[in-house]
Amino acid sequence: MRSLRWLTTAFMLAAAFLGSTTSMGLAMTAHDFSFRSIDGAELPMASFDGKAVLLVNTASFCGFTPQYEGLQSLWETYRDRGLVVLGVPSNDFGKQEPGSSEEIKEFCETKFDVNFPLTEKVQVIGAEAHPLYRWISDELGEDMAPRWNFHKYLIAPDGSLAGTWPSRVTPTSEDVTTAVEAVLPR
């Protein structure tokens, strides 16, 4: 019993040093959250355990919308090595994603041949932001929250945050690809 108490105490102390924690004192990672896919199915981030994820808030009617091409290219280049590109449609900036899930999916598929996973449309900023985006802001600070469409976060295979880039940094930039390659499973 004493060793169990010691182990529990040690575990909780370690979790306190690892970042955000659950109410049980366990360290949180991106794998603790879930979305709904653009088709309405559950999309738990835990399903990407062991893979790197490039999380990008997207919009169909934005000056950065052509980045879908770069996201698709990144997906095609690295998916067999363990990268998931996850598009998160959001109408938070300039109301540039007004469509329904069906309209967003059709737009992405027909205009940019997107076949990487997309979530349903969610908020990514503010009090009503998706819980994963609130966690990211808690972890990195409010100044690292998305400021516009096509903000990118790299999540390591263990669910930790490994990088962030503003909208103007393209998905295929050397900064992004170097960071992706650094966290890909070996």
pTM here? 0.86
* CATH architecture for segment(s) 29-183: 3-Layer(aba) Sandwich (3.40)
64-98 pLDDT, tens digit per residue, is 999 999 999 999 999 999 999 999 999 999 999 99
**Total length of the chain:** 186
Distances (CA, A) of 9 to 1, 3, 18, 73, 131: 12, 10, 15, 46, 28
Is 108 designated active site?
Answer: no
- pLDDT of 5-38, one tens digit each? 333 333 333 333 344 444 455 569 999 999 999 9
158, 19 Cβ separation under 8 angstroms: no
Residue spans of the domains in the chain: they are 29-183
16 class by beta-carbon count within 10 Å (0-12 exposed, 13-18 middle, 19+ buried): exposed
The one catalytic residue among 12, 15, 26, 62: 62
